[in-house]
Amino acid sequence: MKKNDLQIKVERFLFDYADCLNEKRYEDFPSFFKEDNCHYEVQSKENEDLGLTTPIMGCYSHGMIRDRVAQLINNTLTYRRLNLRHFISNIRIDEGKTEIDLKANFQVMQSDLEGVSELYLVGRYEDKLILDHNELKLISKRVILDSFAIPNMLAVPV
């Protein structure tokens, strides 16, 4: 695949990922990950910089990722319901023989039911993707938050 074609495909993948979360289609979230080999974690930049490896939240298999969103899907998790908007920028890819390394910046805005909007999270994604039957899948998604303090419960994926 040509570099430019791959860049466009990766960008589309990320935008579809953001739309899935923005539209609260949590049942679709696990489909972005390779079923037999994947992990998802959220880490603070402070701990990342210090080499502290315990994430704020981690899922180390496809089953754990499905479990992570199961309560959201079933509406059984109690948390402050907000509308979220993910913005992804500075998408950089490096294609290896089998994997695609991806780095991108993100910010998430939150709006409450009264319409008050504010910045919720800022950080970067460090992902590893693989082409699986000509479809991109995450084998690793690392969300590195610029701030250790999260102003709300981290109930939904980032």
Range from 6-10, 22-26, 74-78, 81-85 carrying the lowest mean pLDDT: 74-78
Residue 14 lies in a domain: yes
Residue 152 lies in a domain: no
Q: Report the mean per-residue pLDDT for the chain.
A: 92
Output the pLDDT for position 115: 85
Residue 151 lies in a domain: no
Residue 158 lies in a domain: no
Residue 155's pLDDT band, with cuts at 50, 70 and 90, is confident
Domain extent at residue 118: 3-145
- pTM of this structure: 0.93
- Give the C-alpha distances (Å, rounded to integers) separating 130 from 4, 17, 98, 124, 126: 17, 15, 7, 19, 14
Angstrom distance (rounded) from CA 151 to CA 109: 12
Residue 44 lies in a domain: yes
Angstrom distance (rounded) from CA 83 to CA 3: 35
Residue 22 lies in a domain: yes
Residue 79's φ and ψ, nearest 5 degrees, are -160, 165
Angstrom distance (rounded) from CA 118 to CA 13: 26
How much is the average pLDDT of 26-52? 96
Residue 27's pLDDT band, with cuts at 50, 70 and 90, is very high
Residue 104 lies in a domain: yes
How much is the average pLDDT of 16-30? 97
Residue 153 lies in a domain: no
Report helix, strand or coil for 80.
coil
Question: How many domains are there within the chain?
Answer: 1
Task: Give me the CATH number covering residue 59.
Answer: 3.10.450.50
Angstrom distance (rounded) from CA 78 to CA 97: 44
Comparison of pLDDT for 154 and 46, the residue scoring more:
46
